[in-house]
Amino acid sequence: MKITRTTVRVRYAETDSMRVAYHGSYLPWMEVGRTELIRELGYSYKRLESEGIFMPVIRIEVDYLRSVHYDDTVHIDAWIASQEGIRTTIAYTCYRDSESVARGFTTHAFTDRQNKPVRPPKEFIACLKKGI
């Protein structure tokens, strides 16, 4: 299984008045992890979209385990949890130091420019399956 680790630093704008990271901040961090994972598997969102294929998020689930604060360093591990037909699920664990602070997953469909379901390119699926 291919796991990609990316790192972000919690920015002030991502926190509340107590300098705790707002729960919605985790989603863009996971997106960074997902984008890098796909790139490391040999494809990219940019390439996929240039081929007229999009990967909208159709489900998100996040478990918040511990708070992170302004200026903390957060590591995001991302990996392909499953690839079935026109759906892909990517899993994530976020860490501060070695402590797990959140975990979750996103499920994606594949659509064309008109938002109609389509089969992804075979080469893209082969790249995803390399990561499982």
Q: Is pLDDT above 90 for 129?
A: no
> Mean pLDDT throughout 44-62?
96
What pLDDT was estimated at residue 73? 98
Tokens 């026109």 sit at which residue?
Answer: 86
Domains of the chain, start order: 4-130 (3.10.129.10)
**Catalytic, out of 16, 63, 71, 112:** 16
**Considering the chain, what percentage of its residues have pLDDT values greater than 90?**
92
Q: Is pLDDT above 90 for 51?
A: yes
Whether the pTM exceeds 0.85: the reply is yes
3-state secondary structure 22-61: CHHHHHHHHHHHHHHHHHHCCCCHHHHHHCCCECCEEEEE
> Mean pLDDT throughout 7-28?
95
Annotation marks residue 72 as catalytic: no
What pLDDT was estimated at residue 131? 84
> Mean pLDDT throughout 69-90?
96
**Considering the chain, what percentage of its residues have pLDDT values greater than 70?**
100
* CA–CA dist 117, 6 (Å, integer): 30
As given in the structure block, the two tokens for residue 132 are 């499982």
Q: Is pLDDT above 90 for 130?
A: no
* CA–CA dist 84, 54 (Å, integer): 16
* CA–CA dist 83, 91 (Å, integer): 12
